[in-house]
Homo-oligomer: A and B are copies of this chain.
Amino acid sequence: MELRHLRYFATVAQTCHFGRAAVLLHVAQPALSQAIRQLEAELGAALFTRTTRQVRLTPAGEFLHDEAKRVLGSVDDSVRGVRRIAQGRLGLVRMAFTGTSAFTHLPRIVRVLRRELPDVALEIHTDLLTPAQCDGLRDDSIDLGLLRPPATGEEISVRTIEVEPLVLAVPAHHRLADEPLLAMPDLATESFVLYSNPDSAVNEAVVRRCRQAGFLPHHEHDAPGTAALLALVAAGLGIALVPASARAMPLTGVVFRDVAGAGSVELALAWREHRESALVTSVLDVLGVLFAADRQPVQKAAG
C-alpha cells in the first residue's frame, strides 16, 4: 500500500463518485478504479459497494476513510514540521549568558525570539563566563553564547554586538576624580579593585592595558560583580576600570572618568562554526536585526 492509494481512496470516499473523484485527483477514471481495486485486493476487503448508479462505503471502507484522513493529515503535519525544522523555525536552542549579559540582554533576547520564532524553545544557561561557554559550544552542550571575546578555539564563530569602553570608577574625593585629563600611566600607583573570578574577561582586559602602560595593577580587594565592586570603590578601598555601562548604576561616592588608552571590552554572540544548524542561523538572523536596531540610533547621534 502507498499513500497514493489512501489519497485516491479518501477522495472517492468523500465524493462517493469515481468520475468526480478522478477530476479532483487529476487522473483518469479508469486509473482510479484500478487503484481502488488494487487496494481492496491487498486488504482483502471490499471498501465500496458499487453499481453504475451508486457508490457507497462498506463498514470496512467507513473505518478506512477515518483512518486515511488521519494518516494523510498526520503526514502533512510531519512534512510541515520537517520543513520548519529545516528552516530553523522549530526546535530547541540552548543559549548561555555571562553574569552581566544576562541582566542587560537576556530579557530583550527572549522577548524578540518568542515573537519572531514562537516555535523555537529556549533553554537558558546563566552565569557562564567566556571560557565555560567556549567549552559548552565545543562539547555541544550549548548552541549559542553571549560572551566577551576573544573566544578561544578556531571552531567558534563570533559576532560582536556591543563595544564598551572601560571607564575609571574612583571614590568621589580621590585625587584622580578632579584631574582634567586622565591616561593609563596615571593609575600606575593606585590600588585596584578587581573582579573575583580569575576567568573574568574584564579583568583580563584591564590587566592587559595596564601592562601595555608599563605597570601591573596593584590588587588589594576584589568583588564578585560590578555592583559589589562599585560599592568597594565607594568605600574608598581602591579604583577600578569597569565597562561604561556601569554608569547606569550610579552610586553616591563614586565618580566615573574617561581614561585615555583604557581600551574597551566587547560583548559577542558565539556559536559553533562548522555544522551550523539552521536553527542557530535563524536565531542569529533575528538577533542580528535586534542589535543592528540598537546600534543604528547611536551612529545617528554620533554623525
Contact = CB atoms under 8 A, between A and B. Distances in A.
Contacts of A279: 59
Given A71-B74, A78-B67, A277-B59, A45 B83 contact: yes
A-side binding surface: helix, strand, loop or mixed?
helix
A275 B81 contact: no
Contacts of A45: 82-83, 85-86
Given A3-B3, A67-B78, A60 B86 contact: yes
A78 B71 contact: yes
Interface string A56-74: 0011100110011011001
- Interface centre among A1, A45, A60, A70, by most B CB within 10 Å? A60
A181 to B, nearest CB: 55
Given A49-B275, A91-B59, A67 B83 contact: no
A121 to B, nearest CB: 12
Number of chain copies forming the complex: 2
A16 B58 CA distance: 42
A93 to B, nearest CB: 11
A169 to B, nearest CB: 46
Contacts of A71: 71, 74-75, 78
B75 A60 contact: no
A86 B43 contact: yes
A152 to B, nearest CB: 26
A83 B79 CA distance: 29
A83 B60 CA distance: 8
Contacts of A47: 82
A285 interface: no
Interface of A: 1-4, 6, 43-47, 49, 58-60, 63-64, 67-68, 70-71, 74-75, 77-79, 81-83, 85-86, 91, 275, 277, 279
13 contacts: A43-B79, A43-B83, A45-B85, A58-B86, A59-B91, A59-B279, A60-B86, A63-B82, A63-B85, A64-B82, A68-B78, A70-B74, A71-B71
